[in-house]
Structure 1
Amino acid sequence: MASISGDDIDILAKAKRALDRDYAPGDHEEYMSPQQLNYFRVLLLEWKRSILSASENTLQSLQDGPMREADLTDRASSETDWGIELRTRDRQRKLIAKIDSAMRRIDEGDYGWCEVTGEPIGINRLIARPIATMTVEAQQAHERREKISRDD
């Protein structure tokens, strides 16, 4: 399963806390009701906004100029830190594409339904991973097939 980095989890958790003050979807209501769809739409938009904001901060830091560390060890450490930061931003760029895809599924009426089985993905899974496209079982089967084909 594709992982979400710690920063992304923090951003998502903050977005959920802000939304949960007003409404939190649950199993007690109709699955993918307009209210649930709106909750996930707002959650995805807030998640995307937070990621873009963090990216702008990184871009601004890069534009402020290169680091001029006198010590080679300090320079290597700074370059390693920047490499990690840039890899994180690249993962987040890919995450934004998944968020946009989830938004399209909401607009098309497919959000919350497994793309493999057509079954409900489940509220708890969507709360944990709003960009999920498969049920847990379908995802596990997909990963097993992927592992087998990699091993061949």
Structure 2
Amino acid sequence: MAKKSTEKVVHDELTEEDLEHFKQRLLQEREDMLAKLNRHLNEAMVDNERPADELDQAGRISDQAYLMRLADKEQKLIKQIDRALAKFESGEFGLCEGTGEPISRKRLEVRPWTRYSIEYKEQLEREMGKSRRL
């Protein structure tokens, strides 16, 4: 007789063990992004002596702008991660926000903060493409 698994399946794709795996990944990713964000903001805000010439000054301003863009992207990703983490509390982690259907484990492995299944995301992109052409 085959041994029955005692692991509760939350939906078609994810077990409780899977959920814990993804939660830990998200927490680690959030910690990593916060560290990068803080580093980039600190680097952008450091105001060493004013560069000697305009070319050096322009280079410093360009570097600061680049670091601020990176920090903005990291902040947005942290918000997406926080949103995904909140879904653990509501029991909605791993479910597509557009359809309510399970998101594949493979997609969650690549982007555990994803909001949509591949199919729904492709549908949204097709609809956006049509509206741009109008």
TM-score by length of 1: 0.73
Q: Is 2:18 the counterpart of 1:36?
A: yes
Provide the C-alpha distance between the structure 1 equivalents of 2:47 and 2:86, rounded to a whole number of angstroms.
38
Provide the C-alpha distance between the structure 2 equivalents of 1:95 and 1:119, rounded to a whole number of angstroms.
23
**RMSD of equivalent CA atoms:** 1.7
Correspondence for 1:109: 91
Give the number of aligned pairs: 123
Equivalent of 1:93, from 56, 75, 82? 75
Is the partner of 2:80 in helix, strand or coil? helix
How far off its partner does 1:31 sit?
Answer: 2.3
On the 8 A contact 2:43/2:67 being kept in 1, the answer is: no
Percent of residue pairs bearing the same amino acid type: 31
Provide the C-alpha distance between the structure 1 equivalents of 2:46 and 2:13, rounded to a whole number of angstroms.
48
Unaligned runs of 5+ in 1: 1-29
Equivalent of 1:77, from 38, 46, 59? 59
Code of the aligned partner of 1:103: L
Code of the aligned partner of 2:103: I
Q: Is 2:26 the counterpart of 1:54?
A: no
1:14-29 aligned within 5 A: none
Provide the C-alpha distance between the structure 1 equivalents of 2:83 and 2:49, rounded to a whole number of angstroms.
37
Provide the C-alpha distance between the structure 1 equivalents of 2:72 and 2:96, rounded to a whole number of angstroms.
27
Is the partner of 2:99 in helix, strand or coil? coil
On the 8 A contact 2:33/2:74 being kept in 1, the answer is: yes
How far off its partner does 1:108 sit?
Answer: 1.1
Flag the structure with larger Rg.
Answer: 2
Code of the aligned partner of 2:53: D
- Could you report, residue by residue, the CA deviation over 1:28-75 in whole angstroms, capped at 9, with x for unpaired residues? xx7221111111111111111111112222333345424522132222
Correspondence for 1:144: 126
